[in-house]
Amino acid sequence: MFGGSSLVGDGEVPKDGEIGDPIPSTYVPFRNGVFLALAVSYAEAIGATYVLGGMNALDYSGYPDCRPEFIESFNSTVSVGTKAGVEGRPIRVVAPLLEMKKSEIISLGLGLGVDYGLTWSCYDPDGERPCGHCDSCQLRARGFEEAGTIDPLLVR
Ligand SMILES: [Zn+2]
């Protein structure tokens, strides 16, 4: 389904570059829009009120569908494009990590008992190891450094 992105095999994943400007080749066209649309459809089918997204707009690669204005716009579309919305029971997409620094997200997760050794961020892994050079690896490394802790994924 997805194409036009180095993240899904169309070209090389950029390494060791500036992050977020311009929008990198790892941007997957409207990926979050597609995922959120599927999640909202399911939410409406089961009568849920909220859809949670993990987007972040502070320490990120500059993808348009990770920004607050996208979430606001998408929620407007959901309100007018669903039976629940038209009947006054709007489904809301919320993104609680949206305006948090990566280090704050890491600290929050550690406080909640997240085992980051089981999480993955790399766009271009080298077998079983993260590459350490893509935007996502750089952002993750910076986040762990700023949080004052070691990424357990790198020491397992
Ligand atoms: Zn990487």
Asked if residue 134 lies in contact with residue 13, where contact means CB atoms within 8 angstroms, the answer is yes
pTM of the model: 0.88
C-alpha 87 – ligand 1 centre gap (Å): 45
C-alpha 120 – ligand 1 centre gap (Å): 9
C-alpha 129 – ligand 1 centre gap (Å): 9
Asked if residue 116 lies in contact with residue 156, where contact means CB atoms within 8 angstroms, the answer is no
What is the average pLDDT across 107-125?
96
C-alpha 123 – ligand 1 centre gap (Å): 5
3 state SS of 30: coil
C-alpha 46 – ligand 1 centre gap (Å): 37
Residue with tokens 């998408």: 74
Distance between CA atoms of residues 112 and 137, nearest Å = 22
pLDDT tens column, 26-66: 999 999 999 999 999 999 999 999 999 999 998 888 899 99
CB-based burial label for 143 (10 Å; 0-12, 13-18, 19+): buried
C-alpha 95 – ligand 1 centre gap (Å): 24
C-alpha 12 – ligand 1 centre gap (Å): 12
pLDDT tens column, 118-152: 999 999 998 889 999 999 999 999 999 999 999 99
Residues 17, 20, 24, 27: what is their CA dihedral angle, to the nearest 10 degrees?
140
Distance between CA atoms of residues 121 and 125, nearest Å = 9
User: Which token pair is 17?
Assistant: 């570059």
